[in-house]
Structure 1
Amino acid sequence: MQYRTSLLALSLLTLWQAPALAAPGNTCTGQALSKTFASGASWNLCWTARQAEGIVLSQVTYKAPNNAARRVLGEAALSQLETALDDGSVTPLFLTTEAGFGGNNLQTLTTQDCAGGTLHADSGRNVLCETTRSHGYSYKYTTQRQGQLLELASHSQIGSRNYSVRWRFYENGTIEPSVGLSGELPIVDASAAQYGWPAMASGKIATGFTDHALWRLDFDLDTSNANDVVEEITSTPSTDRLKKTKAVTTLSTETGRSFDPETKRFWRIRDGILSNGSVGQLSYELVPNHYDQSRANSSNAGWLAQDVFFTRYNACEKYATNNPTSNCGSNTSQFTNGENINQQDVVVWYKQSYHHLPRSEDSNRISTVWSSFQLLPRDWHSTNPF
């Protein structure tokens, strides 16, 4: 198969020594980048390019107008990506066995790739595009306000696939990581219609596939990295479904959890000490997308068995699976080994799964498919700061 052959050809690569993760603290890894909006809201962060993950962000700090600047993330990056074809075959892991999103796979950008924006270089190559965009209404009621966002984007070419990794930092404090897929369709013989969709004028079948992406988010809220608290929040309907009862449970030990539409289950990571000056405690909420495909696990693998994993920071836990360090677990299901995470440095491993059944319009260039989620401020302020 053309698609699989082009990917497997890349498996003949030179192995590298994976770099250590940034230690907890206030260390800026790489180059500093900042954006201040006209409102006075601002984002400050550092970025670097690594062989496996591509662009990695660290010390991500947000400041609302007339409020103090507070750190949100100590480090954040795409941690693993795998494609499983509907015919049962699975590609090599893109971040660790396909030479990564960085290195030569990280594309050199031109002004055409970054229209209206600013290019940033690593090792003499422009690899990151920074743009400022309007995102529509921040709110609209008796008054209204249009908001802006800072967007950082990079592109990695691996075999016949192109992945765009995009981070959006909204003026209101929301963070939206996303990964976009384009490239060529995976083509098999026309006899394999049960695995795909007729998408070529020749009658050839484009195989359906599922992308599994897993992000690593090291929360270090405000000044301390060692007092995070994870809370699971549910709204359970009554028997007659006319009421929903809220429950908040603190997750005390490392665990993997899955979304539940019936109970509207979600999670927030809050600071163990600080409040917003009113009744709320500073926190960020995990807001999923593609909720309908959250349980996908094509290869029945441990690292795909849950939608989100919560672990205590460990320097050797670098990648969601195929983790190369001998004195650490090999994947997130092994990272969750019962350590205490209450009032500790918490790392969130969030899984996105997206099944794509090709269509004729994807021939022979896949129309970009985006998968995203949001990190939303919850009680970060006592009132709307805008």
Structure 2
Amino acid sequence: MHYRTPLLALSLLALWQSPAFAAPSTACNGQTLSKTFASGASWNLCWAVRPAEGIVLSQVTYKAPNNAARRVLGEAALSQLETAFDDGSVAPLMLTTEAGFGGNNLQTLTAPDCAGGTLRADNGRNVLCETTRSHGYFYKYTTQRQGQLLELASHSQIGARNYSVRWRFFENGTIEPSVGLSGELPVVDATAAQYGWPAMKSGKIATGFTDHALWRLDFDLDTTHANDVVEEITSTPTTDRLRKTKAITALNTETGRSFDPETKRFWRIRDGILTNGSVGQISYELVPNHYDASRANSSNASWLAQDVFFTRYNACEKYAANNPTSACGGNVSQFANAESINQQDVVVWYKQSYHHLPRSEDSNRISTVWSSFQLLPRDWHSTNPF
């Protein structure tokens, strides 16, 4: 009998742990959407609406001309957004305490909202605009090639602010998530000149603010989700700044990392096995943006202390902050608790921070402020497929 208690305890522990690290679903979550360009390149994905995140994409697959289709992302969405004002005040979290980007906050779109595109409906409401656009040169040398992209856009109204969430899927495999802010200036004060800018005819001061948007990107490269590898790549200049030395370091455990303009630090998520048929292992590179706002953390919050977090997939880790599931940590800094991410299912939590000092042109209506980054195929092919 004295052997049964430890065995029972181990069995119960295994049962308790198994849901957290259960494999993510490979089924389509919601409605399918596909785009095939004239070149033969194509994107296929699924999309659905959730109350907090708004539009959620899943099973995102890319195919280059004369190449096999490969999955890039198992799931992708905005996972939290906070506004911190320059006077020290902080607005409620948009996704979890302000009723989210979905539900009644997700706007019903009309034809003028989707000029030249196609409206997509969820539960009888048009909430997504699908458009194909030209984006200019793929390349221009002895020959030239123009390219196209697929754009998916939705809009959420939260109080006096309007947020546009835009996904661009380029013909060459690049993905560009973006969030755009419009609406009315959020805080106006008559005296706090040190925190803002005179933006009203009355002379009132519009307070400056920083938007922190965190994206959740579950990479499931190709057919197998659980063999991802994260690498940090740096190019460090020599003392005389005439040369740069490349270094590649594998990140083997969950961690948070910050940008470093001096070493041109960036990251890639690669498949642990599959190559491009030549010397490279297929991967996607995270191309950071807004280095000037990196490490912005005016509220000294742990989930904003790093610019990017890498964690192992856990079904209950949904929101970068104010995560409601009791079985998980409360925010992404707690998700990163040193579990192995080597040859595992990796989730990337990427922070976009943008500081906006208002100007007179923002009075009455803020001209849309866009903040974006890119996911770029690296060694996805052995040569340029175009």
1:122 is matched with which residue?
122
Q: Which residue of 1 aligns with 2:113?
A: 113
Find the residue that maps to 1:367 and give its secondary structure: strand
Question: In structure 1, what is the equivalent of residue 74 of structure 2?
Answer: 74
What does 1:246-285 align with in structure 2 at a 5 Å threshold? Answer: 246-285=246-285
* Cα distance in 2, alignment partners of residues 323 and 44 from structure 1: 30
**Residue 346 (structure 1) aligns with:** 346
Gap change, CA 1:199 and 1:263, over 3 Å in 2: same
C-alpha RMSD of matched pairs (Å) = 1.2
CA distance in 2, matches of 1:210, 1:347: 25
Q: Give a deviation string over 1:227-270, Cα, whole Å, max 9, x none.
A: 00000001111121111111111100000000111111110000
**Alignment correspondent of 2:218:** 218
Per-residue deviation at 1:21? 12
- Give the equivalent residue in structure 2 for 1:9: none
The structure 1 segments of at least 4 consecutive aligned residues displaced by more than 3 Å after TM superposition are 20-23
Which residue identity lines up with residue 164 of structure 2 in the other structure? Answer: S
User: Structure 1 residues 161 and 174, CA, compared in 2 at 3 Å: closer, same or farther?
Assistant: same
SS at match of 1:113: helix
- In 2, the alpha carbon distance for the partners of 1:103 and 1:227 equals 35
Q: What amino acid maps onto 1:161 in structure 2?
A: R
Contact preservation (8 Å) 1:22, 1:29: no
Measured in 1, the distance between the counterparts of 2:29 and 2:21 equals: 9
- Counterpart of 1:180, as a letter, is G
Q: Any idea what the Cα deviations from partners look like across 1:77-98, whole Å, max 9, x if unmatched?
A: 0000000111111000000000
Deviations, residues 18-40 of structure 1 (Å, cap 9, x unaligned): xx999524211000000000000
**Is the partner of 1:154 in helix, strand or coil?**
strand
1:139 maps to 139
- Kept in 1: contact 2:21–2:314 (CA 8 A): no
The alpha-carbon deviation at position 294 of structure 1 amounts to: 1.0
What amino acid does structure 1 have at the position aligned with 2:108? T
Q: Please give the residue correspondences for 1:10-29 in structure 2 after superposition, counting only pairs within 5 Å.
A: 24-29=24-29
**Residues 186-265 of structure 1: matches in 2 within 5 Å?**
186-265=186-265
How far apart, CA to CA, are the structure 1 residues paired with 2:109 and 2:240? 56
Mean Cα deviation higher: 216-225 or 236-245? 236-245
Q: Secondary structure at the match of 2:68?
A: coil
Q: How far apart, CA to CA, are the structure 2 residues paired with 1:21 and 1:91?
A: 33
Gaps of 5+ in 1: 1-19
Alignment-mate amino acid for residue 204 of structure 1: K
- Compared CA separation, residues 167 and 146, structure 1 to 2 (3 A): same
Q: Which runs of 5+ in 2 are unaligned?
A: 1-19
Question: What is the rounded CA distance, in whole Å, between the counterparts of 1:280 and 1:335 in structure 2?
Answer: 31
Q: Which residue matches 2:300?
A: 300
Distance 1:239 1:200 in 2: 49
Query: Using a 3 Å threshold, how does the CA distance of structure 1 residues 132 and 21 change in structure 2: closer, same or farther?
Result: farther
Matched to 2:60, the amino acid is V
| Aligned length, in residue pairs | 367
Kindly provide the CA deviation profile for residues 52-77 of structure 1, in whole angstroms up to 9, marking residues without a partner as x.
00000000000000000000000000
> What is the TM-score normalised by the length of structure 2?
0.94
8 A contact 2:257–2:309 mirrored in 1 = yes
SS in 1 for 2:109: coil
Give the conservation status (yes or no) of the 8 Å contact 1:52–1:102.
yes
Q: TM-score, normalised by structure 1?
A: 0.94
Equivalent AA in structure 2 for residue 166 of structure 1: R
Structure (1 or 2) with the larger CA radius of gyration: 2
Cα drift, residue 192 of structure 1: 1.1
